[in-house]
Amino acid sequence: MKRNKLSYKVSQFLMFAGPAALLFLAVVIIPFIYGLYLTFTSWDGIAKEKPWVGFANYAAAFGDGDYWMAMLRTGIYSFFAVILVNIVAFTLAYLVTSGIKGQNFFRAGFFVPNLIGGIVLGYVWKFVFNRAFVAIGSALSGTTVPSLLSTTGGAMFCLILVTVWQYAGYMMLIYVAGFMSVSDALKEAAMIDGCIPAQAMWNVTIPLMRASFVQCIFLSITRCFVVYDVNLSLTKGEPFNTSVMAAMHVYNQAFTYKNYGLGQAEALLLFVVCAVVGVTQVYIGKKGEVAA
Amino acid sequence: MTENDKAARRKKIMHACMWVVLLILFICFISPFLLVIINVFKTKGDITANPLSLIGEHGFTMDNFPQAMDKMKFWRVFTNSTIITVCATILTILVSSMASFVIVRNQKWPACSLLFSAMVASMVIPFQVLMVPLVSVYGGTLGVLNHRPTLILMHVGFSVSMATFMFHGAIHTNIPLELEEAALIDGCTRWQTYWKVVFPLLKPTIATVAIIDAMAFWNDYLLPSLVLTNKELYTIPIATQAFYGTYSTDIGLVMAALLLAMLPILILYVLLQRYIVEGVTSGAVKG
């Protein structure tokens, strides 16, 4: 039998999966392993030799106060952004599936921010915060007010607001699919049994949409933890580095301060924290899933 | 009035209220874009004086556009972005659909299952973990940065796992094995069977992958900014970032540059809105 020969299998595999496997290996697997090696060196990005330093980078990463401040900030930002994104997205999904006029138009409109990259969105909002909001604020109060972006807490608030605006439309589409998957018969049965609409929503629709919640929360957590583009264009870490998120800190550590080994170790820790939070959330979420 | 009439009226009022709420939310959502559009036709002085007025004191002006286009080299960056997005999207589709075909049909081969599980596992790795080694291998050791093909192949490499995963699902559930067997009996080779029978049946998934990946490639900033440092090769997001760095005080030009950066994808969205929303939804729900 020709089809059981090893050479046949190898040639088939290489013919179909060869290019994909090669590219995947070249840009994901090899850099990942090489990155693990880099965390044990004190390379500056230029020198030929990469001195072996053992676990010194991890020790330095644990002792890097700025890094942990950035991580804490990222945690706070993600916490508020994830909750708000999901509340707004769920509300929008409810409104655009209720059967009112023009719901497809609204759906398409809420999705628009997702079409445009974080860099451009950040600059658009920078204009809104620095010019439009300042103009409104000054007109209302009679004096010139400072921009929200130039105040310490304000910059974080702006980042959260832009994130909610950016992702709500995307998550809305997932919730819309969730709403569509709950059959009307179940809701009607609940209403006949005496539920008011709010009860039917809380006791029937929401439990059946659990998978949508798990997915949206997972996606928003993993995106918020590594936020970079909007952070760079909207606040650039200012004022006084009080809005530097973890991903920006890692970038600066490696490429600006040329501590490649330390930067890579910090990136790896960021990944571990993000993965643990995301997987825990999925685990808890899946445990209580119900079937219709 | 009967009970039914009352219920119908209540429903109508409810719908009217919801419609108003939606409209207000909608205006909030698009107001940042509207602000850019009204200010792009004003002079720098008028924007600073009042960013909220519809028309500035010095009237309507189109001057911002040609200047911004010239200064950010709009047509060049637009062409760069288009070449990179189109090539990377097509390559991703070809390479990952082929891989998923051999993976689905030969699940017992160790190479197939190993590749697939490695791809699925890798989807949780954020780009931040790979960027430093990527730059040091391809910039330092091999010195192949600053070439368009490098960026295109890297884009493909990063998106291939997600795309393979989606094609895997589509082949697994939607392509009947009998169809392929019939083609084989009729004398097709595996290669011919794939291109003549399987690939054409994957059209819906191809559309989904194309939409998701093209949007991701078009808007990506971090990877292109690390790979392309030569101005000639800049894509739209890098050019926007560089433009803002140089002309941030000339707010009229900034407005025009931002609008130009958004315009291509917005025009595409108006034309293909239904497909984009559908593609993104099915991609998100499956992935």
Give B222's contacts (C-beta < 8 A, 6+ positions apart): A228, A229, B127, B131
Query: Per residue in B74-126, pLDDT tens?
Result: 899 999 999 999 999 999 999 999 999 989 888 888 888 889 888 888 888 88
- Strand partners of residue A52: A41
Using CA atoms in the order B118, B159, A209, A77, what is the torsion angle rounded to 10 degrees? 100
Query: Per residue in B165-187, pLDDT tens?
Result: 999 888 888 888 888 888 888 88
Query: Per residue in A118-148, pLDDT tens?
Result: 899 999 999 888 888 888 888 888 777 777 7
Q: Please provide the distance, in angstroms rounded to a whole number, between the alpha carbons at the two ends of chain B.
A: 51
Q: Closest residue of A to B99, CA-based? A: A17
Looking at the fold, whether A8 and A132 belong to one and the same domain comes out as no
Encoding tokens for residue A137?
């604020």
Residue A127 to residue B134, Cβ atoms within 8 A = no
Looking at the fold, whether A23 and A70 belong to one and the same domain comes out as no
Encoding tokens for residue A290?
């119900």
Looking at the fold, whether A251 and A157 belong to one and the same domain comes out as yes
CB A230 within 8 A of CB A221: no
Domain-located, residue A60:
no
Is ipTM beyond 0.90?
A: no
Give B200's contacts (C-beta < 8 A, 6+ positions apart): none
Average pLDDT, chain A: 85
**Domain coverage including residue A250:** 66-287
Residue B64: C-alpha distances to residues A116, B30, B59, B245 (Å): 21, 22, 13, 17
Looking at the fold, whether A18 and A160 belong to one and the same domain comes out as no
Looking at the fold, whether A223 and A281 belong to one and the same domain comes out as yes
Domain-located, residue A52:
no
Enter the pTM of the model: 0.88
Domain B72-247: assigned CATH number: 1.10.3720.10
* Pick from B132, B161, B284: CB nearest A264: B132
B1: closest CA of chain A, how far (Å): 22
Residue B132 to residue A35, Cβ atoms within 8 A = yes
Q: Of all residues in chain B, what percent carry a pLDDT higher than 90?
A: 22
- Strand partners of residue A41: A52
Looking at the fold, whether A187 and A237 belong to one and the same domain comes out as yes
- pLDDT at residue B287, as a whole number: 53
Looking at the fold, whether A195 and A252 belong to one and the same domain comes out as yes
Where are the domains positioned within chain B?
Answer: 3-49, 72-247
Domain-located, residue A43:
no
- pLDDT at residue A1, as a whole number: 47
Domain-located, residue A247:
yes
CA-based max dimension of chain A: 88
Looking at the fold, whether A175 and A274 belong to one and the same domain comes out as yes
pLDDT value at B67 more than 90? no
Domain count, chain A: 2
Looking at the fold, whether A133 and A278 belong to one and the same domain comes out as yes
Per-residue pLDDT band for A274 (boundaries 50, 70, 90) equals confident
Per-residue pLDDT band for A289 (boundaries 50, 70, 90) equals low
Residue type at position A204 = V
**Window B:11-50, CB contacts with A under 8 Å:** 15, 18-19, 21-22, 25-26, 29-33, 35-36, 39, 47-48, 50
pLDDT value at A191 more than 90? no
Looking at the fold, whether A23 and A164 belong to one and the same domain comes out as no
The CATH number of residue A141's host domain is 1.10.3720.10
Residue B221 to residue A229, Cβ atoms within 8 A = yes
- pLDDT at residue B147, as a whole number: 87
Nearest alpha carbon to residue A177 among A291, A114, A116, A89: A89
Cβ burial B211-228 (10 Å sphere, 16+ → b, else e) = bbbbbbbbbbbbbbbbbb
Looking at the fold, whether A20 and A164 belong to one and the same domain comes out as no
